[in-house]
Structure 1
């Protein structure tokens, strides 16, 4: 299994942080806290899980069976909300809201940047969004600057 960190491109010293304290069973609204951190510690690392349907899930390396969750309620595909919307938090087990498609951004000829958008599989056209100036991770209906990430391999 590959251990990864999710780094913002717009805010390169910010990583997606998942605190799954108290998330010990499935709840419809999820739980825990997802925000940002300025370094890669244990709360900023995930096991990249490849699902049978071609999607991936991000499993916490600290909290047992806890996954990154994206609920795009209130966010329409194609809509560019000034401050983002929806809810990004944690969930016990990986069901539909914990599955993602990795969308590679086109690179200039002869270069490889490794920039991706992390799109919700349950809500196509909705992307993980990180605002490092507000320490906030939420959802956006477009794949632009705040939705651009690098998935860094940090261990096996």
Structure 2
């Protein structure tokens, strides 16, 4: 059986994203909690460039960045596909995932960490990004199409 380890942090939505993908795929893995204020030698070994979570280690080979990891998981374990098969639909799913990471998440975090006099502007920015995302989803059940991805 393949050895799979996930280095993550409980408060990281990016770690949760990878955990959900592994669970959807039915992949057994060892979760190794990381203290981001005191980075472990393991984290520094497996992600020396960014020094952040998540990091997936599969049979001794490590990879970082949650969206990269999701694609790897989807291509390695074929059951219960996460991304659509159609190249255009797959590209659009990647686009919206990047939009969430680069626009929505920073705007939401800005609300939590901004000074009180800057918070209203941060809230407006977050609302605009979330409205854009909501408009894309409108009547869709899934980003990648109208069929469920999980198969018995």
Same fold (TM over 0.5): no
Q: Which protein shows a greater Rg? A: 2
Answer 1 or 2: which has greater strand percent. Answer: 1
Using the size of structure 1 for normalisation, the TM-score is 0.25
Q: Which has a greater percent of helix?
A: 2
TM-score (norm 2): 0.25
